Structure 1
Amino acid sequence: MTTLALIGAGGKMGCRITDNLVKATHPVHYVEIYEKGIRNLEKRGLKPTPQSEAVSKADLVILAIPDIAIGKVSQEVVREMKPGAVLMVLDPAAAYLGQLPEREDVTYFAAHPCHPPVFNDEVTLEAKRDFFGGVAAKQAIVCALIQGPEEHYELGEQIAREIFAPVMRAHRITIEQMAMLEPTMAETISSMMVTVLGEAMEEAVKQGVPYEAAKDFMLGHINIQLGIVFEKVNPFSDACLVAIEYGRRAMIREGWKDLYKPEKVYEQIDVMLHPEKLRDLKLEG
């Protein structure tokens, strides 16, 4: 059986994974050093295992910790891992920046949830309100074998399916492609645009539109717009196409797709892990 070590088991992300792993058949060592996290484990009837003990016994180690800490923590963890073991990271950032330590006899694997899709067949209230996934709503995941033997991909995907369950499908991609999906597509672009949608609604409210009317109007139209763009349910009207072009010229700078260039992806991740660098970046154009 595959023995697991979950680092950060009592944290925000770790608790969601812990709740799934307690249902699995694998032996699991839960590692947590912070008092709040330890209390979260106690609520689940679990006791933390010291990191060195857990890692040295594990066939697969999961880092459920913030991206900014992965570089430092991985140095400690990888040093204690046994030959042939697998280190799983849940975000491509640290691996893409080359922050994982060099050790050829340890496998590096990355997995990340896609989160439950907007268009789904969920019927229970619990699943409908499970926006992040890993509880009741089905989601897809993406996986990448960064280094190590090919047979370790299957093991990594299997564990990823368990920690992010229920999983409807898994996509195998490269770590470079995962970095393009997050942060570039999902955070730099998509999350930014969604915050602008929220600001647009708030501006309408400031101009006198009742809040509930503005919210209903915005969310209803977003639903249609997503259906048109991603499900091809209907084309935009001619008048709407004109408005779209007007908005594009007013709000979107030329060359924004350069964000997908490798050097720009690297820059985005570097700034995310070192927020102080954002102050000095020249992004206006």
Structure 2
Amino acid sequence: MTVVTILGAGGKMGNRITKPLLETKKYQLRFVEKSEAGQARIREAGLQVMDLDEALKGTDVVIFTTPDALVRQISDEVVPKLDPGTKILFLDPAAIAASRVKMREDISCFVCHPTHPPVFSLLGETDPAARRDYWGGGLATQALVFAIAWGTEEEADLVETIATEMFAPISASHRITVQQMALLEPALSETLINGCVEVITQGLQKVIDLGVPEAAAKDFCMGHLQISIALLFEELNWKLSDGALMALKHAQGSLFRDDWAAIFEPENVLASVKQITGGDK
């Protein structure tokens, strides 16, 4: 039986992946958690917290579910203790893209990240609870991106299987590189998408402050947000109206800098992942 050690097992992501992995009955799971609150959550679930050194002995796979800002510190402690042949899995590309994890040639390293359930895929879910599983908490179907930082295809197959099981239900696992994953997150998702949505929320509040009733403004905003996504991502065989196209053209000049796409330049992506994982040091 494959031995899998989960670091940060008492946190939000550790808890998210534990249940589906337990349900497979394929793995011997070991749980490591430093915080007292996290340890209490693990014990409340009827599971045992293990000492780090004990958990790492003979483990096949180590999954880091720890915060990005702490990954370098934790990996500096963990990686030297690993047995040769151990496979490590990170749930975000930032630490690897920022070279925060020291490479050992006798272990292998992989990165995965769930896409979260796509907007329009949720409409196809038959369970009402699944239709509201926006994060991907085990009810709604989502996809996954997976990258080999270093290691063999045989090792990757094992770890990718674990990744798809712990984020199930999964519609597809897309093999990409670590650098490509960093373009998706943080650049595309956290910088661009979150930035645009934050501006939308500010715009909504602005019209409310200008006197539009809050309920009317929210209904109008949410409905138009959905139809705009459907039209601009060609989910519908319709086109924006002439008036909407004129407003869009004006928006591109007044809302965005001409060089906004520089967020995808390698040096800016590197600066972002370094900031996320502890700064320039």
Q: Same fold judged by TM-score > 0.5?
A: yes
- The TM-score with structure 1 as length reference comes to 0.94
Q: CA deviation at 1:198?
A: 0.7
Q: CA deviation at 1:246?
A: 0.9
Look up the match of 1:184.
187
Q: CA deviation at 1:269?
A: 1.5
Look up the match of 1:135.
138
Gaps of 5+ in 1: 278-285
User: Which residue among 235, 240, 247 is the counterpart of 1:243?
Assistant: 247
Contact 2:116/2:135 (8 A) holds in 1: yes
Structure 1 position 173 matched with structure 2 position 176? yes
Contact 1:96/1:176 (8 A) holds in 2: yes
Look up the match of 2:270.
266
Q: Distance in 2 between matches of 1:18 and 1:184?
A: 29
Q: CA deviation at 1:24?
A: 2.1
Letter in 1 for 2:20: N
Look up the match of 2:115.
114
Structure 1 position 90 matched with structure 2 position 91? yes
Structure 1 position 124 matched with structure 2 position 104? no
Contact 2:70/2:278 (8 A) holds in 1: no
Contact 2:72/2:277 (8 A) holds in 1: no
Look up the match of 2:17.
17
| Count of matched residue positions in the alignment of Structure 1 and Structure 2 | 276
Question: Which stretch shows the higher mean deviation, 266-275 or 51-60?
Answer: 266-275
Q: Distance in 2 between matches of 1:240 and 1:232?
A: 17
User: Which residue among 207, 214, 221 is the counterpart of 1:204?
Assistant: 207
Look up the match of 1:101.
102
Look up the match of 1:32.
33
Letter in 2 for 1:179: A
User: Which residue among 227, 230, 239 is the counterpart of 1:227?
Assistant: 230
Q: Give CA deviations for 1:50-73 in whole Å, capped at 9, x if unaligned.
A: 111111221000000101111111
Q: Distance in 1 between matches of 2:261 and 2:50?
A: 46
Q: Distance in 1 between matches of 2:235 and 2:16?
A: 34
Q: Distance in 1 between matches of 2:125 and 2:30?
A: 33
Q: CA deviation at 1:47?
A: 1.3
Q: CA deviation at 1:255?
A: 1.4
Q: CA deviation at 1:271?
A: 2.3
Contact 1:134/1:163 (8 A) holds in 2: no
Greater than 6 Å deviation, 4+ residue runs: none
Q: What secondary structure is seen at the aligned counterpart in 1 of 2:30?
A: strand
Identity between Structure 1 and Structure 2 (%): 38
Q: CA deviation at 1:43?
A: 1.8
Structure showing greater relative contact order (alpha-carbon pairs closer than 8 Å, 6 or more residues apart): 2
Q: Distance in 2 between matches of 1:36 and 1:212?
A: 39
Q: Give CA deviations for 1:136-183 in whole Å, capped at 9, x if unaligned.
A: 111000000110112111112101011111111100000000000000
Q: CA deviation at 1:232?
A: 4.1
Contact 1:142/1:171 (8 A) holds in 2: yes
Letter in 2 for 1:218: C
Contact 1:134/1:166 (8 A) holds in 2: no
Q: Distance in 1 between matches of 2:132 and 2:38?
A: 24
Structure 1 position 254 matched with structure 2 position 254? no
Q: CA deviation at 1:134?
A: 3.3
Contact 1:64/1:90 (8 A) holds in 2: yes
Gaps of 5+ in 2: none
- The TM-score with structure 2 as length reference comes to 0.95
Q: Distance in 2 between matches of 1:168 and 1:60?
A: 23
Q: Distance in 2 between matches of 1:273 and 1:153?
A: 24
- RMSD, matched Cα: 1.2
Letter in 1 for 2:212: V
